[in-house]
Amino acid sequence: MSDLREKYLTAIAGAEDEAALEALRVQAVGKKGEISLRMRELGKMSPEERQEAGPRLNALKDEINSALAARKAALADAALDERLRGEWLDVTLPGRPRRAGTIHPVSQVTEEVTAIFADMGFAVAEGPQVESDWYNFDALNIPSHHPARAEMDTFYMHRAEGDDRPPHVLRTHTSPVQIRAMQAQGAPIRVIAPGRVYRADYDQTHTPMFHQVEGLAIDRDISMANLKWVLEEFVKAFFEVDHVDLRFRASHFPFTEPSAEVDIRCSWEGGTLKVGEGDDWLEILGSGMVHPKVLEAGHIDPTEWQGFAFGMGIDRIAMLKYGIPDLRAFFDSDLRWLRHYGFAALDVPTLHGGLSR
Ligand code: DAH
């Protein structure tokens, strides 16, 4: 019996895998295994012989079973170690920069604009992109018959047959956020409202969806002079130049009185734009003193409060600052374009840290 013990314990210790272990188990303690056959022979023995052989066979069987289990556990440990070694990752390796995503110029410029105006005390306000025609038009002193409605190439939402309430629109500008912000916060107020706007228009400089940023400052004694200073500070900070010339051209918007369109001095040397020098002027925004009717729509008393507003195209100033020629490419999701014009994800624009690297 001791040679049986020797034989199986050695074989088990040397088994290379689970299949070999299983074969040994069957061979030793399986139904027709060597130990099991020996146990069957106990019946033919004399009671004395059986008394002696039985416990020894049982002990041997137990010992073999434990050896099998121990070897099996050892094999599993070794397999796990092997796998962990194979799957080991060096987390200290640097990332692969060319695979990293980039921040879209519109997002980058929105962050830059927000940082600059935040520094001047403007909070960010928001409004819905599907807007009622009251907020988009009436509240801004654009009544139903007004030509500005037709000029805006408005997208109208569908209304069910027989429902003759005025349809909602995709907001054609960020100006309705002025009304919502005034209603929500009252005066005094200082907000900007960046966001998406929609018009049915498509060519090299127009896409049906684009981005604007609205500005609104209402207090007891705000004048055009404040508007001019704020815009000059903005343009210098945004284009990262020490000096700018702004030109205020008299204009007309239903929601401001007086109204002005603002141009900046620039040059187009060799096809690249330089802000702050040269003999060209480039229009960048519309602005003016908020019309009393607009203040009223925002539940603000125009005999007590006044202020300025402006609206600027974000995509437009992004194209100018970063020399991007075609607006349509902004929204094509072309990876090569995004890698070329995109910004590193961790370069958050701040005034102290630098806006654009
Ligand atoms: N909402 C105007 C547009 O989309 C832009 C604008 C002009 C906004 C003058 C203003 C403003 O706040 O005062 O064309």
Rounded distance between C-alpha atoms, residue 107 and residue 213, angstroms: 12
Q: How confident is the model at residue 290 (pLDDT cuts 50, 70, 90)?
A: very high
Higher-scoring residue by pLDDT: 180, 355: 180
Q: At 49, is the pLDDT very low, low, confident or very high (cuts 50, 70, 90)?
A: confident
Ligand 1: residue whose CA is nearest its atom 13: 287
Whole-angstrom distance, CA of residue 23 vs CA of residue 18: 9
| Per-residue pLDDT, 357 | 58
Which residue has the CA at smallest separation from atom 6 of ligand 1? Answer: 311
Ligand 1 centroid to Cα of residue 175, in Å, is: 6
> 105-344: which CATH architecture?
2-Layer Sandwich (3.30)
- Is any ligand 1 atom within 6 A of the Cβ of residue 291? no
Question: For residue 103, how far is its CA from the centre of ligand 1 (angstroms)?
Answer: 27
Ligand 1 proximity of 307 Cβ (cutoff 6 Å): no
Our mutation pick for probing the ligand 1 site, out of 177, 253, 312, counting the most ligand atoms within 8 A of Cβ, is: 253
CA–centroid distance, 80 to ligand 1, in Å, is: 66
Give the Cα separation of 233 and 28 in Å (integer): 91
- The single-letter code of the amino acid at 162 is G
* pLDDT(346) > 80: no
Distance CA 50, CA 98 (A): 79
Asked whether the beta carbons of 226 and 216 are under 8 A apart, the reply is no
Find out whether 51 and 107 touch, Cβ atoms under 8 Å: no
How far is ligand 1, taken at its centre, from the CA of residue 313, in Å?
10
Place of tokens 């069910």: 160
Q: Which of 173-182, 213-222, 271-280 has the lowest mean pLDDT?
A: 271-280
What is the structure's pLDDT at 273? 74
Cα of 259 vs centre of ligand 1, distance in Å, is 9
Q: Decide if pLDDT at 272 tops 80.
A: no
Q: What percent of the chain has pLDDT over 90?
A: 56
Nearest to 234 by CA among 258, 215, 251: 215
SS (H, E, C) the chain: CHHHHHHHHHHHHHCCCHHHHHHHHHHHHCCCCHHHHHHHHHHHCCHHHHHHHHHHHHHHHHHHHHHHHHHHHHHHHHHHHHHHHHCCCCCCCCCCHHHCCCECHHHHHHHHHHHHHHHCCCEECCCCCEECHHHHCHHHCCCCCCHHHHHCCCCECCCCCCCCCCCCEECCCCCHHHHHHHHHHCCCEEEEEEEEEECCCCECCECCEEEEEEEEEEECCCCHHHHHHHHHHHHHHHHCCCCCCEEEEEEEECCEEEEEEEEEEEECHHHCCEECCCCEEEEEEEEEEECHHHHHHCCCCCCCCEEEEEEEEHHHHHHHHHCCCCHHHHHCCCHHHHHHHCECCCCCCECCCECCC
Candidates 117, 122, 170, 175: which one to mutate for ligand 1, based on the most atoms within 8 Å of Cβ? 175
Distance from the CA of 179 to the center of ligand 1, in angstroms? Answer: 13
Q: Is the pLDDT of residue 347 over 80?
A: no
**Alpha carbon 92 to chain centroid distance?**
26
Tokens representing 308 are 């300025």
How many angstroms is it from 324 CA to the middle of ligand 1?
Answer: 24
Among residues 229, 292, 241, the alpha carbon closest in space to that of 266 is found at: 241
Which comes out higher in pLDDT, residue 289 or 97?
289
Q: Taking residues 287-301, what's their average pLDDT?
A: 98
Q: Is the pTM of this model over 0.85?
A: no
In the prediction, which pLDDT does 199 show?
95
Greatest mean pLDDT among 35-44, 67-76, 130-139 lies in 130-139
| Ligand 1 closest atom vs CA 212 | 4
pLDDT over 70 at 315, yes or no: yes
214 lines ligand 1 (CB under 6 A): yes
pLDDT at position 98: 65
61 alpha carbon – ligand 1 mean position (Å):
92
Q: Quick one: average pLDDT of 349-356?
A: 77
How sure is the predictor about 236, in pLDDT bands with cuts at 50, 70 and 90? very high
Q: What pLDDT is recorded for position 111?
A: 96
Answer yes or no: is the C-beta of 288 below 6 A from any ligand 1 atom: yes
For the Cβ of 175 lying below 6 angstroms from any atom of ligand 1, the answer is yes
Q: Where are the domains of the chain?
A: 2-86, 105-344
d(CA 298, CA 310): 16
